[in-house]
Every structure is written in structure tokens, then in C-alpha cells.
């Protein structure tokens, strides 16, 4: 089945096309490397200035300009002002540098462009994802009979879990089929429990699921920024006594700002007493499982009914790469749907599994390849070293600032996030962060107990203690400059 026409820019078996593409990849990499510049994380350009440049690029020319001209414009206008995630001066978010072997995976993923919805759109892709999901359930301590699916990110993994939990609760406890009939008459009584500092995707998920923000009960946290378990139990008991329907709780393994880890084992006991689903949001903390030293801190992921794991955070894989894992494979059946054109029942009976039946998405990327290639390339000990470095860097940074009279550091880190402030007030801290950004050093900012804080999320294993010392010194200097204008 050989075509006769050959588009020179459409991947095919033509050797000319392949040679041309090889050259394009080489040129693209050269452009990328030329833009690495001085090691800083950001050019420091002002947003209005950047908007002007970008708007000058044009949209859709009547006639194509050819790849070289476009690459040149891209290198000139866009690449210099992209965020350079590999820079050790980049430390604000759960947003990581990427492992080069997984950039190669991305190239494979794009070249083949297989899709995860049906077996005939990705035969080996389907089988590898299934195999990786089985491995992951074991890695995170879930028993046989568990299952999972790759997703676009932690937010989608979380909404998947909450939807599965809600649908099961309605079916088993209220005798109501949400998939067929929509929300039950008593839907306004459904309640989800999660800490006041858990990820906002819980609120968004509740909204998308038709229950609104009102269904999300925020549990206060203790001095270590973990769910106050006694308060959680009280809230559930009071709500149940007043006729509300507590159906789900969320334990966060690594809160987005502080990296704090909830006591999922204690929460499990309360959930069991009240017939509730326990979801573990380990979008951040899942990486710790690779560490011999710190893996214990997240081992209670194994007591959860569902778990969110992100590979585009601590695991340093390119965006996007995430999974939802469930203790009971049937939980994901809420997504089952048979379309005549896509996933016929008779094919599935013959072993042609179609993953669309477990996912919110239809067309879906083969992200599992990145996990496979990175796991095999580095092994668990290779990842363990990356994680240990991140955790130990955070401990070092915390140790420095907590002993320093110029700073306040309210929470000792359990993972790789440190939140602290210069003494001198909110405005001073805001100014210092902006000044650093303009210099190309990107740090985060959040609020703790009503006070503006500087936030560091240390994921880059190339960051050294000297690098940490340098940024602390720079913050101190800027603090003096901004404080005494």
C-alpha cells in the first residue's frame, strides 16, 4: 500500500523525507541550545514588551514561508523568552527540568502519534500502558485487582477519582445511577472532605461534577500543615448527624505549597467507620516512593481507594504525564461506553482492549512510554538519588533560613518545598520576588496565615548548597535595597 504523492514535510517511508526530517531535528536542537544563554531561568523581559514582540509574529500567511524561516523567527522571538526549566535559578513551582531520555520518548510518541483510545490506534501503546499501570499499582502498594489509567495531569486524575467515588456511593448507598440519570435528588447533601490547603482542583472537580464548591468541606490543618484528624472526624460526624452525605475524603501526600503529608492511615479509619472513599492526592509526593530514605513518608498511599500520581513533577518527565490508580478496577467503569465505531464489545472479548473505557479522554497521548523509558534508563536507585537530593536541599535551605534572624520560616519541610519570608512585611517580600524575576531568578510566592511568603520548590537535582547560599544572600541584599529605597 504505497502512496505515490510525497509531501516533503509529512513523515513517511521515503528516505528523502527522513533525511530532510533528520536535518530539521538537528536545526531545531541547535536553535534550542543557542537559546540556553547564561544559565539564568528567564530573560527578565517585561510582559508588555514581550506581548508586542509576540503579536508581531503574524498569524496565518497566505503562502507558507518554509520551515527554516519559521524556525528563525521562533528562535528570535519565542525561545529567548521561554522559561528555562533546567536552570537551577528556577525554583517556584512543581514544574521541573526534564530527563533527556524522555525528550527522546516524546520524539517517538510524536513520530508514531498512536492514540490510547482503542487497541487498533495503539497496539503496543495500549499493552505498554496496561503493563506500566500494573507495575505502578504494585510500586505504590495497591493490592491485586487494582487498576488505573494515564491522564493529562493531577487535576484530571483528581476529578476522575472524585467522580468514580461519587458514582459508586450513589449507586451503592442511594440506589441511584448517576451515569444514566444524572445527579440524585439529594445531590446538594453530598460532601467531600479535604484540608484547607489541599489543591484547588478539588473545588474545580466538585463544580464540574455538578456539586459545586459547597460540597467541599475544608478541614483545618495542624501546625505541620497536615489534616487535623480530630477535626475531620468531628466534621464528618456532625454532618452525618444533620443528614448530609459524606462520601469521600482526600489525603494529600505533599501539599502544593508546603509539601506536608496528611496522616492517611488515621483518615482511613474514619472513612471506614462512615463508609467513605479515601482518595490520595500524591501528585507531588508520589516521587518519594523511589527513595530508600524517605519512601516511608508516603507509604500510606497503599491504604487509599484511589491515588493521583504525577510524573511531570518530582519524576522530572515532560508535561504531561500523570495517572490515576484505583484499588478496585470496577471504580473506573463509570467511564465505560461502547461506540460502534470505536470499541465494540465483541473485539474486547477477543483481547483487543480499548482504554477509552477507563478514561475521561478519547484521543489520548502515549505518555506511558516516558515512564517506561525513564524507569528502565535510571532504575529505582537512579530516581532515588534525584529525590534524595531534592529533599536534602530543602532541609538545607530550611536549616539556613530558620536559624537566620533576617527570616521567618514557619514550617519544617517533609518534602522539597520551603516557605519563608524576609522580616519586614508583605510589600518587601513581593518586591524582592519581582526584582529576582527581572534578574532571571524565578522563585514562588504564597500566603501563610495571612502573610506573604517566598516559596521554593526544589526539584532540580543539579542545585547545590552553594546555589542555595547564593540565592539566600541575594534575597537578603535585595531586602536591604527594597527596604531602604
Ligand X SMILES: *Cc1c(COP(=O)(O)O)cnc(C)c1O
C-beta closer to ligand X: residue 280 or 384? 280
Closest distance to ligand X from the beta carbon of 358 (Å): 18
Cell of 117: 483510545
C-beta closer to ligand X: residue 96 or 121? 96
> Are 31 and 68 spatial neighbours (Cβ–Cβ below 8 Å)?
no
Closest distance to ligand X from the beta carbon of 288 (Å): 13
C-beta closer to ligand X: residue 201 or 359? 201
Helix, strand or coil, per DSSP, at residue 222: coil
Closest distance to ligand X from the beta carbon of 282 (Å): 8
C-beta closer to ligand X: residue 94 or 227? 94
C-beta closer to ligand X: residue 154 or 413? 154
- Name the nearest CA neighbour of 456 among 392, 386, 383, 397: 397
Closest distance to ligand X from the beta carbon of 61 (Å): 35
Residues that bind ligand X (CB under 6 A): 94, 153-155, 158, 199, 201, 252, 254, 256, 281, 283-284, 310, 322
| Residues facing residue 248 across a β-bridge | 192, 277
Closest distance to ligand X from the beta carbon of 155 (Å): 3
C-beta closer to ligand X: residue 287 or 384? 287
Name 224's Cβ contacts closer than 8 Å, sequence gap at least 6: 260, 411, 412, 414
As a whole number of angstroms, the distance between CA 53 and CA 56 comes to: 5
Cell of 428: 518587601
> Are 263 and 230 spatial neighbours (Cβ–Cβ below 8 Å)?
no
CA 440 centroid distance within chain: 24
C-beta closer to ligand X: residue 259 or 479? 259
Secondary structure letter of residue 220 according to DSSP: P
Cell of 78: 519565542
C-beta closer to ligand X: residue 265 or 320? 320
> Are 282 and 302 spatial neighbours (Cβ–Cβ below 8 Å)?
no
Closest distance to ligand X from the beta carbon of 274 (Å): 24
- 119, with CB counted inside 10 A (0-12, 13-18, 19+), is buried
Closest distance to ligand X from the beta carbon of 419 (Å): 14
- Which residue's beta carbon is nearest to the bound ligand X? 154
As a whole number of angstroms, the distance between CA 47 and CA 156 comes to: 30
Distance between first and last Cα of the chain: 73
As a whole number of angstroms, the distance between CA 55 and CA 324 comes to: 39
Closest distance to ligand X from the beta carbon of 91 (Å): 15
Amino acid at each position: 500500500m504505497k502512496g505515490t504523492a510525497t509531501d516533503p514535510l509529512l513523515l513517511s517511508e521515503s528516505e528523502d523525507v527522513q533525511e530532510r526530517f533528520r536535518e530539521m531535528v538537528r536545526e531545531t536542537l541547535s536553535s534550542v541550545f543557542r537559546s540556553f544563554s547564561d544559565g539564568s531561568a528567564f530573560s527578565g523581559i517585561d510582559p508588555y514588551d514581550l506581548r508586542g514582540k509576540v503579536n508581531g509574529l503574524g498569524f496565518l500567511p497566505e503562502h507558507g514561508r518554509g520551515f527554516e524561516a519559521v524556525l528563525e523567527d521562533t528562535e528570535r522571538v519565542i525561545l529567548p523568552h521561554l522559561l528555562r526549566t533546567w536552570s537551577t535559578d528556577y525554583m517556584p513551582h512543581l514544574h521541573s527540568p526534564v530527563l533527556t531520555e524522555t525528550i527522546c520518548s516524546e520524539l517517538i510518541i510524536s513520530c508514531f502519534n498512536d492514540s490510547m483510545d482503542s487497541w487498533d490506534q495503539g497496539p503496543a501503546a495500549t499493552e505498554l500502558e496496561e503493563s506500566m499501570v500494573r507495575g505502578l499499582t504494585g510500586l505504590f502498594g495497591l493490592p491485586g485487582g487494582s487498576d488505573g489509567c494515564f491522564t493529562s495531569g493531577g487535576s484530571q486524575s483528581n476529578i476522575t477519582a472524585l467522580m468514580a467515588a461519587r458514582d459508586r456511593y450513589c449507586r451503592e448507598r442511594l440506589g441511584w445511577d448517576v451515569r444514566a440519570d444524572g445527579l440524585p435528588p439529594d445531590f446538594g447533601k453530598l460532601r467531600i472532605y479535604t484540608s484547607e490547603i489541599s489543591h484547588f482542583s478539588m473545588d474545580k472537580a466538585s463544580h464540574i461534577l455538578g456539586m459545586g464548591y459547597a460540597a467541599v468541606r475544608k478541614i483545618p490543618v495542624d501546625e505541620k500543615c497536615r489534616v487535623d484528624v480530630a477535626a475531620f472526624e468531628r466534621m464528618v460526624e456532625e454532618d452525618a448527624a444533620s443528614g448530609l452525605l459524606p462520601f469521600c475524603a482526600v489525603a494529600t501526600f505533599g501539599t502544593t505549597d508546603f509539601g506536608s503529608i496528611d496522616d492517611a492511615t488515621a483518615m482511613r479509619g474514619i472513612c471506614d467507620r462512615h463508609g467513605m472513599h479515601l482518595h490520595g492526592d500524591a501528585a507531588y509526593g508520589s516521587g518519594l516512593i523511589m527513595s530508600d530514605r524517605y519512601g516511608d513518608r508516603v507509604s500510606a498511599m497503599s491504604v487509599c481507594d484511589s491515588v493521583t500520581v504525577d510524573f511531570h513533577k518530582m519524576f522530572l518527565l515532560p508535561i504531561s504525564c500523570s495517572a490515576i490508580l484505583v484499588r478496585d478496577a470496577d471504580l473506573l467503569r463509570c467511564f465505560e461506553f461502547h461506540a460502534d465505531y470505536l470499541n465494540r464489545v465483541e473485539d474486547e472479548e477477543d483481547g483487543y482492549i480499548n482504554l477509552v473505557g477507563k478514561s475521561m479522554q478519547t484521543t489520548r497521548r502515549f505518555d506511558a512510554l516516558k515512564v517506561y523509558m525513564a524507569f528502565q534508563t535510571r532504575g529505582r536507585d537512579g530516581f532515588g538519588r534525584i529525590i534524595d537530593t531534592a529533599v536534602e536541599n530543602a532541609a538545607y535551605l530550611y536549616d539556613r533560613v530558620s536559624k537566620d534572624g533576617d527570616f521567618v520560616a514557619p514550617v519544617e519541610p517533609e518534602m522539597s518545598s520551603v516557605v519563608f519570608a524576609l522580616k519586614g512585611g508583605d510589600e518587601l517580600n513581593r518586591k524582592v520576588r519581582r526584582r529576582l524575576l527581572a534578574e532571571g531568578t524565578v522563585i514562588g510566592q504564597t500566603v501563610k496565615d495571612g502573610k506573604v511568603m517566598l516559596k521554593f520548590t526544589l526539584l532540580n537535582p543539579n542545585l547545590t548548597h552553594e546555589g542555595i547560599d547564593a540565592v539566600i544572600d541575594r534575597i537578603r541584599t535585595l531586602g536591604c535595597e527594597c527596604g531602604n529605597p
